[in-house]
Structures are given as structure tokens and as C-alpha cells.
Structure 1
Amino acid sequence: MPRGDGRLNHDLDPQDKGPQDACGVFGIYAPQEEVSKLTYFGLYALQHRGQESAGIATSNGDKILVYKDMGLVSQVFDEAALGALTGHIAVGHARYSTTGASVWANAQPTLGPTKHGTVALGHNGNLTNTHRLLELVEERLGAARAKEMREGGVTDTSILTALLGWDHYDSVTETALELLPHVDGAFCLAFMDEDTLYAARDPQGVRPLVLGKVPSGGWVVASETAALDIVGATFEREVEPGEFLTINADGVHSQHFAKAEPKGCVFEYVYLARPDTHINGKSLQAARVEMGRQLAREHPVEADMVMPTPESGTPAAVGYAQGSGIPFGQGLVKNAYVGRTFIQPSQTLRKLGVRLKLNPLREQIEGKRLVVVDDSIVRGNTQRAVVAMLRESGAAEVHLRISSPPIQWPCFYGIDFPTREELIGVTMSVEEIREHLGADSLGYISVEGMIAATEQAEERLCTACFTGEYPIEPPVDAKHLLLNQPVEASS
């Protein structure tokens, strides 16, 4: 999977679709700043959360302008485009589609009319009650509008944008506070009208959202603290689950539309968020290193070198080396200029598999017993190719260690895993997976060990993709995805 921070291991095999990210949102209210450029750099820091499309909306207090297109942030925007986006408020979005097709019409921010102007909205997450929300569209905006949305390949974001335009109340704030208790699922929202920036986070706080302050006195909301760092904003606090913020000339105002019931996504700690991000006060780099140490305790092995699958496996590999006393080394070199491509490799190149993006350091590998650390296994195609490559390069033994438990259940909250039938952790036991991958041994971290590494209370985390315990009711039309039972895991 292409990652904006360079972590490309799940896209090493074009046929091996890994866990696709949630989206990234960024919002800023800063009268003294070039908000379009700050938003551009904020989205650049969040590129790993979505690579399909990018967009920025700005307001000068009188009108909203929006520019969005398919592609990476650096491909969508140039100096001319950013220069035309004037104003003191901005909302930006980097999209990966979990609902709706990957087409320009679904790029965000989405625009919609309100009683007194326009709203531009960016959404990170995935809603679970879109059928009910479409009923609200019919009740509040009319049957014709609801029919149009149903027939037009509606996204959950476009439904929210439409409902924010309900003219029953005199302000966007009143409309949002009435609407949000009706919304189920995972959502972090950054949206704006002509004079105010708004932010909201679902009562479970599944996806991260933070508030920061720029030196000139303006305010920023973003999916990750790394986006605050890149624009020079200081971290103030996390947006609380169930909290709604309004940010304008009067400052930051907070209201709660629901009681907080925290269930942060544990996969953010394992893989999704950048390693230089903090969630709930915890450095994700430190959490991932500790997952590696825990792996060494749970699955020790005699070996000569610990190496990562670049680059998302690196922190855990460092931790495994620290915990085991086995030297850390780099056994694979990644092509730094491999990006997103729509060109299918020729049959000759396809046979080479991961060699398009990784190449072995034979002198580091030959004759050695290797521990290869990765963050997760989805279908297993990439890991199988890596094991074969290492053996061809003369590795004496290859031991795989994975810093998350087997993925066995679909996510309904913003991560686009393959179907259960495609998840290798569902269709095979651990021993069968080891044999399929061609490894000498295979060890996954335990759920308990993973949670301990996050330093978060178990009851405050969502572990549904590993345990099948869903904190929010899955969509009614998706419950068939839960029917087949996982293979009994054994180590």
C-alpha cells in the first residue's frame, strides 16, 4: 500500500492489497497566516492516511473556494492553485475511499448549501447507519433529494454535508449539535462555513483528532500530531470523544453532543498512524518498539540478525533486537522512488514480485539465521515473496515475527481490510500460514502483549479486527461478513 511516510511494504506485490488507511483531515483558523499553504503541508504530513484524492477549501469570510483532484497532495496542488485559495479559514482532506467509488465526484471537502451560506466538510472514518441517515435526508430535505442521493452512489460524507444544510435551525452549530447524536460509527469531522471552523469526534473516539495552536494565535485541528509539527503548531490537547468545537474570531468553544465512551483503534498504534505521532500521550514509535520487545519475550528464537520488512516493520524490529540481544541489521534495500503507479508490470517483471521495490543485501543475509519483523499479515503474498527472496540470497533460516495478532475480522470504522475469505488469518491456522509462507517459524504477538505496549486500558481500545468484539453495532447490511468463523489460532 502506498504510504506518504515511505512505508510501502504492503504495496510490494501489486496483487497483495493490505489494510487500506482511513482518511486524513486538517482544519485551520488563522487570520495572520497563508492557510492554504499550511493546509497543504498539513495534508502532506497526513498523506499516509489516503492517497486517492486531495482537496482544500478556504474562506475569506465572504465566500468559500475549493480545489480538489485525484492523486497525491503534491500532484494535486501547485503554487498557482494554492495562491488562488485565499482566506483565513481552511479545511483539507486526503482521501482513501471506504465508502463510495474512487472518483473525482467523491473527493473531499464536500460542499453543500446552508441557510446562510455554504459548508465544506472533510471526514475521516466510516459511518455504520447510512440507511438511517438517508431516511433523515428524506424527512428533512425531501423525498426527491433522498432519491437523488440513493441513485447517485452516495457517500457517508455527502449525506452529512446535506444534513448540515437543514434549514430548521438558524446556525450550523445548532444544526450540527442536533444531527451528530443521530450519527453512528467512526467519524472525525473538520468542516467550515464562511466565518467559522468546526470539528467533531465520535463518542467512541475511534480515530484520532487533535487540537493545536499556531504561533500567530490561530488554531489547527488535525488527524495526527505529526501534522501539527510540520506547520509549527503546538499541541494543545486531543479533541475529546463526543466533543464538538467551534473556532472563530471569539476563540475556541467546546460542547459535548454525547457521553464519551472511548474505544480508540488499536491498529493506529500498530500501523496506521505515523511513528512520530502521539495518541493519548503515547509515542507510537515507543509503542511499536515495545511491541517488538514483547514479541521477543513471547516468541524467542536463536538467530544471527533481526531485520525489518521496510519500513513499517522497523520500530518493532528494533524492539525485538533490544529484547532478544540479537543484532539488528538491514537485509533489504527499498527503492526510495517507488510511488503509486497505475502501470501493471509485464509478465516478466511480475514474476520478480517484490524485487520491483525491494532488493536483498546478499552479504548481510548469506549464511545467517534471520528474524524478519513485520507489522501485520493480510493475505501473506508479500511475506511469502520476501521469505523466498531471502532464501535465494543464501539465508540459512528465516523466522517471521509479526507485531500484531492475526487479523480475523472486518473493520467497519475506516480501515478497508479485504473480505474475511481473503484474510489468511481466517482461512489458515498459524502453522498452516508458516508452511504457506515458507518460513522456519512464525510468531504473532498476543492481543494482551499488543495492548500492554500501547499503555492504554484494554476497555478504552477497539480490537475488533483481532477479536471480533465490536464497540459500535456493525451495519445491518454488512453482517453477512461476520458469518464464517475464524480458524482456531495456535502458536
Structure 2
Amino acid sequence: MRTMPPSHPFDDDKLKEECGVFGAIGVTDAASFIALGLHALQHRGQEAGGIVTYDPEAGFHSARRFGYVRDNFTSQKVMETLPGSIGIGHVRYSTAGSKGTTAIRDVQPFFGEFAMGGAAIAHNGNITNAEALRRELIERGSIFQSSSDSECIIHLMARSLQRNIPERMKDALRRVEGAFSVVAMTRTKLIGVRDPRGVRPLVLGKVGDKGYVLSSETCALDIIGAEFVREIEPGEMVVISDNGKVTSSKPFEQQASRFCIFEHVYFSRPDSILEGRSVYETRRQIGVELAKEAPVDADLVCPVPDSGTPAAIGFAFESGIPYGMGIIRNQYMGRTFIEPSEQIRNMGVRLKLNVNRALIRDKRIILVDDSVVRGTTSRKIKDMLLDAGAAEVHFRIASPPTMWPCFYGVDTPDRDKLLAAKMSVEEMREYLGVDSLQFISLDGLYRAAGVAAGRDPKAPRYCDACFSGEYPVVPSDMIAKGFEMKTAAE
């Protein structure tokens, strides 16, 4: 569910990040660790955040707020309401639920009271059979408090006959289809789970002798000085006790890993490590591959900041064309323009980006961006460059054409709003009004991510459904609503 407008209302030409999860156990003042971790994961969701902690003397405590972590979880007054050495947290940009309304009940983590004690969960991903599960649970007497698909997990746990929380969670998640990385907590345990295909990321870190953390990305470990231990494996559940003991199990049927390749392209922070690879280096290598596949005679390579910067650096290195900051991002736009006047809204992307006129005047510009979704922002940026005196504008895109929506935790427009689903590359070039337009190939993207042979069409290493239309998990809810899967002709 979308509970408030995105922080930058002119970012509608980007795929929106899913969510970020973080948990801590065995540390003094877990809430402070979690707040710092969520701050590092803020790029994964800016709508809202929440923290749940447990203290033996005070019980479970929860704080859920709209907006940024820095605005809600830095005051002493708030943090004093979250005592304890164990807790979990969540930042969100919603992908499921009733969009357009504001409800604090949709903000995670969710909490449930069971016969063996309370438990809280936070979920990154999307449940593709959530509506079918919801109907079944309501018919059997469940009363839902939110519109989030994640609440289904709590209700499934409540109906399990298992005798402890981890086993009930296994029961619940075996019913769930789609993508999930979950952090959960009881009074004495921190739990982390990834879906059998490992679509969304989750890592384990260590703090001191007995402290552990779970996080969506390694960059959140760095901010608290935690040691990276390893990634949680696809289909794995880890249970960490308050005495520092870590146990692992594989409760699901084994399936081929299909990690989301767009984590490498855009979602994860460039200072994170994914699958043992630097995200920054992968994005730089994407630029190298792009320069090999789509060379062009030009004077300057410029990124669309900040997401296009590493790829632009790689493109400039491989092509030998100078790199320059032809577009400057206003880093302090903040939330001033969440509800701008019509006059200010008409300024559009100029509120966020400004052209470095002295650098680009009379030059042939290669503009590198991570993706093209609707194409609206790309057209505006092209117009800004030409207005500032650029001689030519050539777009190079660090991902293949986005032709299909994502159903695994990414807020993607409907397919009929995706530019590449309606137009050929040449038609897109004409629509954008640029001198040339080229996307990296799917094979080139795989090579940049470390798969030297490129993409194996019979057994893809990654989930690349947004480019290929080949969904590793059937989106059953969406098919029931009329969504048409890729045909052989496509």
C-alpha cells in the first residue's frame, strides 16, 4: 500500500525500491542499532518505518511512523520507549495493498500474540498468492487489521498446530508463494528466512561476542561496525538465541536460485556486497559492457545522478571518452516539495537536477542512466541538455528494456505504462527525441554480474522477469485478475 507520496514526486520514471529489514539480538539497546541499520537502508523505502523490541521487564514495545528514519527514530524520547536487547525493524515503499490511503496499521513490523508468547515479523518482498490466502483465512474466521500481504504470514502462523514460533513460521511460509526475506523475533530469538529461490537479499552479521544482526544489505552492517558473516542462503531459516547460538535449517523444497538482478543494477547501495561481489564494481562493469556493445562517437560521458554514475564511469573508461558531471543533483530537495504548487510542479525534474552548462555546451553527450520505465523523466533531461547547448544527446541504458512488471516486491507500473512494452527501441528513440538510444543486452548484463557465458535461456541464474517476461514463480493473484503471461511469440 502506498501511504504517502514518494519523497521526490518527480521520480516517477524509476522502479521503486521494495523494503528494507533489519534485526538485532544480544546487544545493549537494540533499538539504537536497528535505527542506524534502517537509516543505512533508507534507500529501500522512504514512506514509513517501524521498530519492535522486547525487554524482559517491560515486554514488547513498538513504534511505527511515516517518513524518514532520521525524523522519527533519533530522538531520545522515542528511543526510550523501545527498551531491550532484541528487536527488528522495517522501512517500506509499499508494493501491495490499497494504494492512495494513509494507514499506520499497514506499517511493519507486524505483531501477533500466540499461546507460546508474542512474535513480530518484518517482510521484504511480495506474496503472489496473498489474495487467495487472504480470502481463505477470512472465510475461516481471521480478522485482518491491514491491507498488507505480509499480514497473511501472521494469520497462517496463528493457525499452525506447531508448538514453537520457528516451526509455526515454517508452516506458514510453506503456504506462501512469491518472494520473501523475513526477519522475525520472539522474546528470546531472532529469526531470518529467505524464500527458496532467494529473490530478495538477506545477510547475517556479528557484533561483539554474542550479538548478531540480520540485514537486507551489508551497508547496514558497516554503519554499526558489525562483522559480515555470510548471506542467508535461498530457502534457509536461521534462528539466533539470546545466548549467541545460531542454528540453521532448510525447511522448503530446494529450487534453483533466482536472485533479483535489478538489485545489482539499481536497488542496492553501491557500497554493499551482493553474492560476494561489490555492487559498485558490477555497475561499473555494466558500463564497460555497454561501451563494448553500443559505442558512439561523442565528446563527453555524463551520468544521470546518482544511479547512472558507476556505469558512466565504466563506459568512459572503456570508450576512452572523458567523463564529466554534466548534470548536478540537488541533494537537499528533501521533503519540501512533497505537495508542491502547480507552478512548482511544472518545473518538474529541474527541481532535482540541473545542467552544468559550461561543461556540456556544444558537446556531443553520452548520457548514461540505469533504466527507462515510462520515459517521462528521460525526455525532460534530454530537453534540459539541448536547452543548455548540447550538440547531440545519446542515451545509453545500463539495463535491458523494462518490458514486464515485477510481482516480487518492486513497485512497477502496469505493463501498458512501460515504454518498452509498447515501442521498439527505434520508436523509443523517436519518442525521447535523442540522437541514439541503446540498452545493454541481457547477456551483457549477466557478464557484468560475473556470469562469463552470459544468460543461459534454459536455466537463468537470476530473476530477470522485468526484462525477459519469464517469471520464476507464477503470479497467481495477478493472473486471476487477467494478467497475461508471455507467449511463445513474444
- Structure 1 match to 2:3: none
Query: Structure 2 vs 1, CA of residues 230 and 15 (structure 1 numbering), >3 Å: closer, same or farther?
Result: closer
Moved over 4 A (4+): 10-13, 479-482
| CA shift for structure 1 position 437 | 1.0
| CA shift for structure 1 position 359 | 1.1
Given the alignment, which residue of 257, 260, 269 partners 2:251?
A: 257
Q: Distance between the aligned counterparts of 1:321 and 1:13, measured in 2?
A: 31
Structure-to-structure mapping, 1:68-107, within 5 angstroms: 68-77=64-73, 78-101=75-98, 103-107=103-107
Structure-to-structure mapping, 1:17-56, within 5 angstroms: 17-31=13-27, 33-56=28-51
- Structure 2 match to 1:122: 122
| CA shift for structure 1 position 13 | 6.2
SS at 1:455's partner residue?
coil
Deviations 1:125-157 (A, max 9, x none): 00111244336635xxx7232xx33xx653221
Given the alignment, which residue of 276, 290, 303 partners 1:295?
A: 290
2:372 counterpart of 1:377: yes
SS at 1:156's partner residue?
coil
- Structure 2 match to 1:137: 137
Q: RMSD of the alignment, in Å? A: 2.1
2:329 counterpart of 1:334: yes
Q: Distance between the aligned counterparts of 1:479 and 1:377, measured in 2?
A: 28
CA contact (8 A) 2:470 2:486 kept: no
- Range with greater deviation from structure 2 (353-362 or 306-315): 353-362
Question: TM-score, length-normalised on structure 1?
Answer: 0.91
- Structure 2 match to 1:7: none
| CA shift for structure 1 position 220 | 0.6
Question: What is the one-letter code of the residue matched to 1:376?
Answer: S
Q: Distance between the aligned counterparts of 1:19 and 1:399, measured in 2?
A: 22
Question: What is the one-letter code of the residue matched to 1:114?
Answer: F
| CA shift for structure 1 position 348 | 3.2
Q: Distance between the aligned counterparts of 1:406 and 1:11, measured in 2?
A: 26
| CA shift for structure 1 position 423 | 0.4
- Structure 2 match to 1:220: 213
Q: Distance between the aligned counterparts of 1:416 and 1:399, measured in 2?
A: 28
Q: Distance between the aligned counterparts of 1:202 and 1:34, measured in 2?
A: 30
**Structure whose residues are more often helix by fraction:** 1
Between Structure 1 and Structure 2, how many residues are aligned? 471
Question: What is the one-letter code of the residue matched to 1:434?
Answer: R
Q: Distance between the aligned counterparts of 2:429 and 2:341, measured in 1?
A: 29
Q: Distance between the aligned counterparts of 1:278 and 1:339, measured in 2?
A: 27
Q: Distance between the aligned counterparts of 1:238 and 1:169, measured in 2?
A: 27
Unaligned runs of 5+ residues in structure 2 are 1-5
Question: What is the one-letter code of the residue matched to 1:318?
Answer: I
Q: Distance between the aligned counterparts of 2:182 and 2:116, measured in 1?
A: 20
| CA shift for structure 1 position 361 | 1.0
Structure-to-structure mapping, 1:267-278, within 5 angstroms: 267-278=262-273
SS at 2:150's partner residue?
helix
- Structure 2 match to 1:239: 232
SS at 2:344's partner residue?
helix
Q: Distance between the aligned counterparts of 1:309 and 1:286, measured in 2?
A: 18
Given the alignment, which residue of 132, 135, 148 partners 1:155?
A: 148
Deviations 1:353-403 (A, max 9, x none): 211111111110101010000000001111100000000000011100000
Deviations 1:285-305 (A, max 9, x none): 000000001110111011111
Q: Distance between the aligned counterparts of 1:181 and 1:444, measured in 2?
A: 38
Deviations 1:331-357 (A, max 9, x none): 111111112456443343333321111
Query: Structure 2 vs 1, CA of residues 374 and 261 (structure 1 numbering), >3 Å: closer, same or farther?
Result: same
Deviations 1:62-90 (A, max 9, x none): 51111011111112222211122110101
| CA shift for structure 1 position 176 | 1.6
- Range with greater deviation from structure 2 (90-99 or 73-82): 73-82
- Range with greater deviation from structure 2 (466-475 or 161-170): 161-170
Question: What is the one-letter code of the residue matched to 2:397?
Answer: I
CA contact (8 A) 2:366 2:395 kept: yes
CA contact (8 A) 1:11 1:18 kept: no
Q: Distance between the aligned counterparts of 1:353 and 1:288, measured in 2?
A: 27
Query: Structure 2 vs 1, CA of residues 80 and 194 (structure 1 numbering), >3 Å: closer, same or farther?
Result: same
- Range with greater deviation from structure 2 (156-165 or 381-390): 156-165
CA contact (8 A) 2:160 2:172 kept: no
Question: TM-score, length-normalised on structure 2?
Answer: 0.92
- Structure 2 match to 1:16: 12
- Structure 2 match to 1:472: 473
- Range with greater deviation from structure 2 (80-89 or 59-68): 59-68
- Structure 1 match to 2:174: 181
| CA shift for structure 1 position 429 | 1.1
SS at 1:126's partner residue?
strand
| CA shift for structure 1 position 249 | 2.9
- Range with greater deviation from structure 2 (218-227 or 160-169): 160-169
Query: Structure 2 vs 1, CA of residues 134 and 350 (structure 1 numbering), >3 Å: closer, same or farther?
Result: closer
Question: What is the one-letter code of the residue matched to 2:201?
Answer: P
